[in-house]
Amino acid sequence: MTKGWRIFTSSLRLLALVATLTATIIMVTSHDSAEVLNLTFKAKYSNESAFKYFVIAEAVASGYSLIALFVSSKSLLWRLVVILDVIITILLTSSVSAALAIAHVGKKGNSHAGWLPICGQVPKFCNQVTGSLIAAFIAAIVYLVLILYSLRTVLSPLITV
């Protein structure tokens, strides 16, 4: 466990923490309303269960990133951290793909099901959801790189690659 490795993984975790926190905050503060034919059309993240799951998953991932930053690589807990990293990556990818699927329906609609796109009426909401999704995507990729890098440290006492 060289110092270079330690700095690299810590910075990756910090980046993931910032990305997940950004994604959570932007999604939670996203709301917009529009008046169409005397009907007030309010769009909030809590109207859609996929976005609620997204917010919860990102919040859990950011909390875990914060805690895992302080786990020393010499303690026995780092084996648990390697496995928990995989579980958190699963959580992140599933939340991003769920929110992306619903956002795609919101942006393009689904003509076969008779669902009209809503991004024309509430553009501010759509833009914030897009920004939140980009941040969450970055977090998922960072965690993917992290779990691959953790394997390298497990291997390093064994081979000289």
Partner 1 sequence: MAPQDGRKPEVGDFISTPSAKQPKDWVLLLLRLLAFMATASATIVMALNKETKTLVVATIGNNPVKVTLTAKFQHTPAFVFFVIANGMASFHNWLMIVMEIHGHRIDYKGLRLAVIAILDMMTVVLASGGDGAATFMAELGKNGNSHARWNKICDKFDTFCDHGSGALIASFIGLVILLIINVKSITKLIKPNPAGNIGLLP
Residues engaged in binding partner 1 (CB under 8 A):
42-43, 47-50, 53, 79, 82-83, 86-87, 89-91, 93-98, 100-102, 104-106, 110, 112-116, 118, 144, 147-148, 151, 154-155, 158-159, 161
The distance of closest approach from Cβ of residue 91 to partner 1 in the complex, given in angstroms and rounded to an integer, is 8
The distance of closest approach from Cβ of residue 77 to partner 1 in the complex, given in angstroms and rounded to an integer, is 13
Closer CB to partner 1, 91 or 138, in the complex: 91
The distance of closest approach from Cβ of residue 115 to partner 1 in the complex, given in angstroms and rounded to an integer, is 4
Closer CB to partner 1, 22 or 51, in the complex: 51
Give the closest residue to 63 by CA, choosing from 38, 91, 36.
91
For residues 91, 155, 11, 88, the Cα torsion angle rounded to the nearest 10 degrees is 10
Closer CB to partner 1, 2 or 110, in the complex: 110
Alpha carbon of 25 to those of 4, 56, 70, 149: distances in Å? 32, 11, 23, 28
- Residues 48, 97 contacting (CB under 8 angstroms): no
Alpha carbon of 22 to those of 25, 94, 98: distances in Å? 5, 18, 18
Closer CB to partner 1, 74 or 148, in the complex: 148
